Structure 1
Amino acid sequence: MNTPDRHRIRFIIHYDGRGFAGWQVQPDQRTVQGELERVLGKLTAGPCAVVGAGRTDRGVHATGQVAAADVPVRWTAQSLRRAMNALLPDDVWVADAALAAPYFHPRYDATARSYVYRVGLASEADSPFRSPWCWPLVRPVDLLAMERASAAILGDHSFRAFAKAGQEERGDRCTVAAARWAPWEGIGLEFHVTANRFLHHMVRYLVGTLVDIGLGQRPSDHMAALLAGEEGLETSPPAPPEGLFLTAVSYPADAGMEPPRPRGPRLVP
């Protein structure tokens, strides 16, 4: 909570998701949030809650996760960043830190989130320096068919077919602002997708289905049919988590600025 002796710091976090059971703290599991709270607890000499913009799943990476914590005012953003990086494990890194407005909330103030999914097509994707951070498919795909199917994702749709079961209470509509394929360093392709929100495993189900379309295992018009809720039609299995990166979180220019918001100043998940 913001008090006269504490202020809110906003972080950009990078992490290699392979060694984590996801972002969110879980009993007896190693998580990104848990590591950040452990280190901040040491530096601030007491419990220190960290809230992130998105709860990435087990094995998913990030180069643009946004988080925030309330810390004693003796810590400047940059001195805290340096101290955290000295104590954090090698698979988590604070890329940037800045003073945030008292009412800034990484999750609730976000207007969009962007992900990139890497699919390796060339043999180099099997390299131990590439395969841990991509889906080493190492097979040719029909990019035009995948692009046609990706175009159907744009706009406001129900993504119920592309979400892990058991999330009815969250609602299933998302507005997708970008969904495109781009070259990946001569090794394969990257799927870039931006939306106001994402459902659990949504990007992985989308990529799994798009890749099956690219492999000729289903027609490109299945994407529109799945979004329309066509009965009897199911998505392909989700793509592996290793290829997925949370790359950016967007906020309005005045995010977290006063006047105070009805939800109050506390940082809660």
Structure 2
Amino acid sequence: MEKEVKRVKMIVAYDGTNYKGWQVQPNGITIEEVLNRHLSSLLGEEITVTGASRTDSGVHSLGNVAIFDTTTRMPADKISFALNQRLPEDIVVQDSCEVPADWHPRYQNSRKTYEYRILNRTFRMPTRRLDTYFYHHSLDVEKMSRAAVYLEGEHDFKSFCAVNAQVKTTVRTIYACSVTKADDIITIRVTGNGFLYNMVRIIAGTLIQVGGGQIEPEQIEQILAARDREAAGPTAPAHGLTMMGIEYMEEKDIDTQGVV
């Protein structure tokens, strides 16, 4: 008698400092590799997880979503508790549950939210070195906020995509893009239906140039229209970026270009 296969969904938080990103690769340890190894050991079968977002080396997450198929009799909601006993302290599964066999985190209509955090002060703060980008020149947050509004809506974000990224379309929808400051931390928060390779980090690098006076807020329109990576600002360092989470929507609620 064949064992019944079930699909388990997990919400995974991690500090990406010590990892070469999410996806398994030969040149270093990754989040996916660690999850595969410990799940396989825990459940006594070969497990391969699939993540919603393949975050880059050094990028953090509070709510990446992953699935895997298993024949274990362990209840899906108990897997998170058992797995967290085995995982290193910089990876923690926040929740696990069973989902339909055809549910896939990359092919659902969704809203993803990222935050890019900048430590904007004269000197570094050692306790924030891993999750903020230190920038000592004063930044004009009001200008950055005005520029961010131009990114909202459906646009061709080719100017904000790494060169040679392999995607069917560079059109994406940004539902909200804001810039706020609390004490010495400037937070760029972006919610969209999907993001191109390095897109949020290029948005951050461009908005930093706006805040520093090299680019005027109104020039964002020209940068978008150029559809040229050279038109936008630099790619901000990975360690300032955190994937905040993914909200899955009903088909009728939201259109999507596909997520990456």
> Is this a same-fold pair by TM over 0.5?
yes
For residues 91-130 of structure 1, the aligned pairs below 5 Å read 91-123=90-122, 126-130=124-128
Is residue 2:208 matched to residue 1:207?
no
Is residue 2:6 matched to residue 1:22?
no
Alpha carbons 1:53, 1:110 under 8 Å: kept: no
Q: In structure 1, how many angstroms separate the alpha carbons of the residues matched to 2:151 and 2:134? A: 24
SS of residue matched to 2:39: helix
Q: CA deviation at 1:46?
A: 2.2
How has the CA–CA distance of structure 1 residues 27 and 223 changed in structure 2, closer, same or farther, with 3 Å as cutoff? same
Find the counterpart in structure 1 of residue 192 from structure 2.
195
Among candidates 231, 235, 241, match of residue 238 of structure 2: 241
Find the counterpart in structure 1 of residue 67 from structure 2.
68
Identify which range, 57-66 or 224-233, moves more after superposition: 224-233
Q: CA deviation at 1:213?
A: 0.7
Q: Which amino acid aligns with 1:144?
A: E
SS of residue matched to 1:42: helix
SS of residue matched to 2:11: strand
Q: CA deviation at 1:142?
A: 1.1
Identify which range, 228-237 or 130-139, moves more after superposition: 228-237
Number of residues paired by the alignment?
A: 252
Structure-2-length-normalised TM-score? 0.90
Q: CA deviation at 1:76?
A: 1.2
Find the counterpart in structure 2 of residue 260 from structure 1.
none
SS of residue matched to 1:148: helix
Deviations 1:209-233 (A, max 9, x none): 1011101122222211110117796
How has the CA–CA distance of structure 1 residues 187 and 108 changed in structure 2, closer, same or farther, with 3 Å as cutoff? same
SS of residue matched to 2:127: coil
* Pairwise CA RMSD: 2.1
Structure 1 unaligned residues grouped into runs of 5+: 255-268
% identical equivalent positions: 31
Q: CA deviation at 1:18?
A: 0.9
Alpha carbons 1:116, 1:190 under 8 Å: kept: yes
Q: Which amino acid aligns with 1:149?
A: A
Structure 2 unaligned residues grouped into runs of 5+: 252-259
Alpha carbons 2:157, 2:227 under 8 Å: kept: no
How has the CA–CA distance of structure 1 residues 231 and 9 changed in structure 2, closer, same or farther, with 3 Å as cutoff? closer
Is residue 2:32 matched to residue 1:33?
yes
Q: In structure 1, how many angstroms separate the alpha carbons of the residues matched to 2:167 and 2:84? A: 38
How has the CA–CA distance of structure 1 residues 220 and 5 changed in structure 2, closer, same or farther, with 3 Å as cutoff? same
Q: CA deviation at 1:253?
A: 4.7
Alpha carbons 1:110, 1:249 under 8 Å: kept: no
SS of residue matched to 1:11: strand
Alpha carbons 2:7, 2:98 under 8 Å: kept: yes
For residues 143-222 of structure 1, the aligned pairs below 5 Å read 143-184=141-182, 186-222=183-219
Q: In structure 1, how many angstroms separate the alpha carbons of the residues matched to 2:227 and 2:37? A: 47
Structure-1-length-normalised TM-score? 0.87
Q: In structure 1, how many angstroms separate the alpha carbons of the residues matched to 2:246 and 2:142? A: 29
Find the counterpart in structure 2 of residue 264 from structure 1.
none
Q: In structure 1, how many angstroms separate the alpha carbons of the residues matched to 2:184 and 2:53? A: 28
Is residue 2:56 matched to residue 1:57?
yes
Q: In structure 2, how many angstroms separate the alpha carbons of the residues matched to 1:4 and 1:140? A: 61
Q: CA deviation at 1:96?
A: 1.1
Find the counterpart in structure 1 of residue 257 from structure 2.
none
Q: Which amino acid aligns with 2:5?
A: R
Alpha carbons 2:50, 2:66 under 8 Å: kept: yes
Q: In structure 2, how many angstroms separate the alpha carbons of the residues matched to 1:160 and 1:100? A: 35
How has the CA–CA distance of structure 1 residues 231 and 28 changed in structure 2, closer, same or farther, with 3 Å as cutoff? closer
Q: In structure 2, how many angstroms separate the alpha carbons of the residues matched to 1:232 and 1:141? A: 23
Q: In structure 2, how many angstroms separate the alpha carbons of the residues matched to 1:123 and 1:107? A: 41
Is residue 2:139 matched to residue 1:141?
yes
Q: In structure 2, how many angstroms separate the alpha carbons of the residues matched to 1:67 and 1:17? A: 16
